[in-house]
Amino acid sequence: MKNKVSPEVEAQAMKMAKGTQKAGQTKEQTKLIAQGIRKGIAEYKKQQGKKSREMDKQRKQKTKQQENESTETVDQTSTTDSTKILPWILLALSWLGFAGYLLVFGI
């Protein structure tokens, strides 16, 4: 599988190869140097793409983890709200039961 390189990269590689050309160096040698530079640029781009994907994965994992933590916090908050109401309901029911007892059996 051959790496596809843009024409701009090819031109830049050839310019760099010609810039470092030594006296007595043949065109074939210059082309080989330019080819090596192109391969180096392609490899660099591949590595940067890989790093970018890894960083994106880590960023997504962090956001997912933060969403899970915030959901757990909301669940805990709703649970504590309902447990705060329960004693008051039980107190009201007990007073109603006591009042009902007094009405039925009359003191």
Tens digit of each residue's pLDDT, the chain (107 residues): 455 778 888 888 888 888 887 888 888 888 888 889 889 988 999 999 999 999 999 999 999 888 888 777 666 666 667 678 888 999 999 999 999 998 888 76
Is 88 among the domain residues?
A: no
Is 91 among the domain residues?
A: no
Q: Tell me the pTM.
A: 0.50
CA–chain centroid gap for 1, Å, is 31
Please provide the size of the chain in residues. Answer: 107
Is 33 among the domain residues?
A: yes
Is 46 among the domain residues?
A: yes
CA distance 98 to 102: 6
Is 1 among the domain residues?
A: no
Cβ neighbors of 12 (< 8 A, separation 6 or more) are 41
Task: Tell me the residue range of the domain where 32 lies.
Answer: 7-80
Is 98 among the domain residues?
A: no
The structural domain count of the chain equals 1
CA distance 23 to 45: 31
Is 13 among the domain residues?
A: yes
CA distance 72 to 93: 32
CA distance 41 to 48: 10
Is 100 among the domain residues?
A: no
